[in-house]
Structures are given as C-alpha cells and as structure tokens.
Chain A
Amino acid sequence: MDVIISPKLQDFVWEIKRKERFSIKEIIILKSIISSEVKWMIYVDDIMDFLFVIGISLFVKNFANIFSVEIGAALHLFITGTIFISHKLFWYLNTTYSIYKGFKNDGIRCSEVEAVSKIVSIIFSKHCASNFLVITNFLYSHKTQKEVFEPLVAEWQYEYFEDLRNKRFRRAKMTNLRWTYHFLTAMWQKSPIGDLIEFISKFAK
C-alpha cells in the first residue's frame, strides 16, 4: 500500500511508504500515541544536550565528593546547573507537548493511527494550503475566499493528489511549490495594492 487517503481525516492526506520522511521526533511521538503504555516522555534531540544530561547525572552521582573538595565551586555549579536543566526541561516538555497537541488538533486520533502502526514509517502531510486558507480567511472577504482562494486550493489539492496517486512523489513536491507561488499571486492580485495597480493600468488605457 503506497498511498492512503483516509476520508476520516477530513483535512489530511496520509502517504504511507516504507522509507523516509517524518522527523524522528514526530515518529516517536506518533508511536507514543499508538502505544497506550507510554504515559509520558521527553525528547532530547541535540547531542550536546544529551552529553550535558550525562554530565549532570555524573555530577549528581558524585556530588558528595565534589562538594567536599570545593564548596563554592560546587554550589555555583549546582545552582547554574539546576537553572539550566529547568530551562531545558521546560523547553523539551513544551516542544513535546506542542507537537503532541498539533497531532491532536490536526484530528489524528489513536484509533486512526493504529491502523497504520505496523508500517515502518509514516509520511503524513497536512492537506496542502490549509494554513494559507486560514490566512486568507482572515485577510479577505468571505466572497473572495469562496470564489477565489477555495477553488484555487481545491485544484491545488486535486493536482497534488493526482501526483500522489500516480506515485509521482517528487512531482507532487514541485506541484506544491508551483501552487504556492500561484496562491501568492492570487493574494497579491486581490490585495488593495493589486486593485490599485489594476485601476491605474485601466485608467492609463
């Protein structure tokens, strides 16, 4: 199975392949969602941070020895270390939570992920341009949204899905790039500046 377009995931397309894509962090979190055994987790994705954690654990382990040698230095190291760790811990927790929350907000539920849990890796992409539509929804009128941007995105998605269905993954990326440009062009055309330029050009004619 190469491509699944799940009707359950309203705004999502799941591309499932055996290799590549999806960041490690996201895969781990996805797996954590799949497996109900994992209650919590923190991700350390930087090697220096990883080494720092090892260093701190060694420091804590040998705290008594260090403390007996030089009390001032040990205290200083302890305080700065604690602050640093708290900051890092907060950052990792926050990042983890935001990714997890993103999955949840995007409508991915455990039951839906379970269906593909045996596959080595999961490539998933948000329905293209959904973020763009949020922006235009905010910037332009409902009419413009309905008559210009939504049809444009609908065709964008159509072309993108066609590429995916025909297993033209590289071309699908190019399609996304091309349509991004066209979307921005449409945004420019519908902007007040675009209207002004059109008015001036008409007036000049």
Chain B
Amino acid sequence: MNDSRNNEFPKLSRKEFLILGMLIGKGEMFGLEMVEASEGELKRGTIYVTLQRMGDKGYIESREEPRQMPEVGIPRRKYWATGLGERVYQTNVKAQEFFNSDFAWGGLS
C-alpha cells in the first residue's frame, strides 16, 4: 500500500474492545456509566487511564459536560467513539469471528 495508512493491524486490548463496544452500541457515555455497564470488568481507577490512551490513539473523543444546578464541582466528561474507533472495533470483531471460524482451524481442508 502506498498511502499514509498505518499498515500495522490495530489490536485492541480487552478493555479497549469492551469500551469501544459499549460506546458504539449505546452512544455517548460517562466513565462511571461504562464501569457500571461493564459489570465489574472495568474499574474506576483504571478506566480513565485507558480512555486517555484510546483518545491519544484517536479511537474516542470526549467533551466536558457542564453540571446542572444546584450541583457544583468539576464537570464530568462524556465519551464517544470516533469513525476510526468504529472501524478498528469492526475489524477486531471480524478478526475474532474469523479466528473462531472453522476456516481458521482448517475446517475446509
């Protein structure tokens, strides 16, 4: 390939896969919502580090959501998947499906 795309296969860690799956399925979400939806797979202390790394890779984007009165404090951050994130997720889903298929295990031979 002669274009600017990165030829390396975009592997997702389990947490990244889970987060992207939730964001694609449910739309915009807060970090805490993801933790609760993951039923124990994601932890409060680690999710924000993971989200930051995913943001650096361009898989997700975020914005600050202003608090509603009478709440005060630091605004919460809402996350959503980018187009790249969705493509990477779909690629990983397909890769996983292929890996689990008979073809990958020599079913056609």
Which residues in A have some Cβ–Cβ distance to B below 8 Å? 5-7, 9-13, 127, 144, 147-155, 157-159, 161, 178-179, 181-186, 189-190
Contacts and interface: CB of A to CB of B under 8 A. Distances in A.
Given A147-B51, A159-B32, A181 B45 contact: yes
27 contacts: A5-B72, A6-B70, A6-B72, A7-B70, A7-B72, A9-B72, A10-B72, A11-B72, A144-B52, A147-B52, A147-B77, A148-B52, A149-B48, A151-B77, A153-B74, A154-B75, A154-B77, A155-B30, A155-B44, A158-B71, A159-B32, A161-B71, A181-B45, A182-B43, A185-B43, A185-B46, A186-B46
Contacts of B76: 151, 154-155, 158
Given A7-B70, A155-B32, A157-B74, 10 more contacts: A11-B72, A147-B77, A148-B48, A153-B74, A154-B76, A182-B44, A182-B45, A186-B49, A189-B49, A190-B49
Given A152-B31, A155-B30, A147 B48 contact: yes
A189 B32 contact: no
A7 B49 contact: no
A158 B32 contact: yes
Interface SS of chain A: helix
B108 interface: no
Contacts of B104: none
Nearest to B33: A155
A186 B43 CA distance: 10
Nearest to B65: A154
A154 B70 contact: no
A98 to B, nearest CB: 26
A181 B32 CA distance: 15
Interface string B61-86: 01000000111111111000000000
Contacts of B32: 155, 158-159
B55 interface: yes
Contact of B74 (A5, A154, A186): A154
